[in-house]
Amino acid sequence: MSTDTTISQRPTPPSYEVPKVIRFGALAVGFLVLVLFPLVFNNPTISTIGVFAMIFLMAVTGWNIFSGYTGYIALGHAVFFGIGQYATAMLASYWQIPPGWETFLLIPVSMFLAGLAAIPIGLIVLRVRKHTFIVLTIALMFIFQLFAYNLRGWTGGSQGLEVSQPPWDGSIFNLPYYYVGLFLAIVAIISSFMIRRSKFGLSLLAIRDDEDRARSLGINTRNSKLTAFVISAIFLGAAGCMYAMFVGSVYPQFSFDPAFDLELSIMAFAGGLGTILGPSLGALIISGAQQYFLITFGGANVFLIVYGALFILILRLLPGGVVPAISDKWRSHVVRKEQRILDSELEGPAEAGAHK
């Protein structure tokens, strides 16, 4: 009896996944790059790009936990971004927090408040079907924007609110923001990973594929969706807080901004909606490009054109995103390799036929 087995005799199919070694390697390299980035490129303009990239990273990963996993594309999540911003600005002045390290304590507070707000909001918007949901979240965001404009006593109306900037030296000003942002982004990614691995995550994916079917198998879809909604809101609140602290001012049109939601969705789609790392990849690439555009061309309107055109292209050509495209390529690579081996075995020595 022959001791080596041919492919056709293998009991289980080969793994089509990218080998763990490569995956961990890539992750480790990525992590190192991100940690060392502002130290290597210590030009404040460049590290500013980094800070915004971190803010978007945590926001998109958080957004993906809800929209990517459940398939309910929430185009109004800027609500929680704005809540984070306004909470930070209002509490910083109300509690008389001195600018500097203490302001960072507002991050967990903003996260808590955003999460808290997400409960009633979620209960309302999650009652409707997917397409109404999308539209409803957009309407909701406009409501908040209007509130921000109108409740002048609290929000400063169109004048906005200020968050005092810490008196740090210009050359290292960005560093604390960057590293805190990186930390939060990593927390977001780890949360996303743990959710994806859990039964809860599987329930979310089932909801994405066929919500009613999931219900018929015992999944409490309402609670699952709400939980994911609240978790994602928490990360958006954190992003809002960081944004308010870093930029120093909070305005209605930039806190509750439809363009922000558009950016979130492009980043998630481009990277790979529903994957763990895809949105992060998309965030890094696109926010980097965005900042570059702003610096080179100024003016938001050119960027709108680019965003719009880019999104249309992505939706047409690569609706799955980069990460799934990579795993698809890997899969076809493995299949082709197997096919070649199989072909060579079939053409092999005549004994192969005799053994049968």
- Buried-exposed string 272-287: b where 16+ CB fall within 10 A, e elsewhere: bbbbbbbbbbbbbebb
Instruction: State which of residues 175, 311, 325, 330 lies at the interface with another protein (CB under 8 A).
Output: 311
Q: Is 193 in the site for another protein (CB under 8 A)?
A: no
What residues are paired with 250 via a beta bridge?
161
| Alpha helix positions (H), 151-173 | 152-155
* Binding status of residue 130 toward another protein by CB under 8 A: yes
Residue 239 near residue 62, CB atoms below 8 Å: yes
- Per-residue contact flags (x/-) with another protein for residues 195 to 214, judged by CB under 8 A: x-xxxxxxx-xx-xxx-xxx
Give the nearer residue to another protein in terms of CB position, either 235 or 256.
256
CB atoms within 10 A of CB 150: 13
The CA distance from 94 to 88, in Å, is 10
First-last CA distance in the chain: 11
The Cα–Cα gap between 227 and 224 comes to 5
Query: Applying CB under 8 A, does 32 fall inside the site for another protein?
Result: no
Contact assessment for residue 73 and residue 134, using Cβ atoms and an 8 Å cutoff? yes
Among 2, 8, 13, 349, binds another protein (CB under 8 A): 13
d(CA 70, CA 48): 33
Q: Which is nearer to another protein, 93 or 158 (CB)?
A: 158
Residue 146: CB minimum distance to another protein, A? 5
Return the residue of 8, 301, 349, 354 that touches another protein, per CB under 8 A.
Answer: 301
**312 in contact with another protein (CB under 8 A):** yes
Q: Is 324 a residue that touches another protein (CB under 8 A)?
A: no
Q: Where are the alpha helices (DSSP H) in 272-321?
A: 278-297, 300-317
Q: Which of residues 25, 98, 108, 319 is near another protein by CB under 8 A?
A: 319
Residue 41: both structure tokens together: 């490129």
With contacts defined by CB under 8 A, name the span among 50-58, 102-110, 170-178, 309-317 that binds another protein. Answer: 309-317
Instruction: Name the residue nearer to another protein (CB basis): 27 or 309.
Output: 309
**Integer Cα distance of 46 and 269 in angstroms:** 25
Residues contributing to the site for another protein (CB under 8 A) = 13, 16, 71, 73, 75, 124, 127-132, 134-136, 138-140, 142-143, 146-147, 149-150, 194-195, 197-203, 205-206, 208-210, 212-221, 258-259, 262, 265, 269, 301-309, 311-312, 315-316, 319
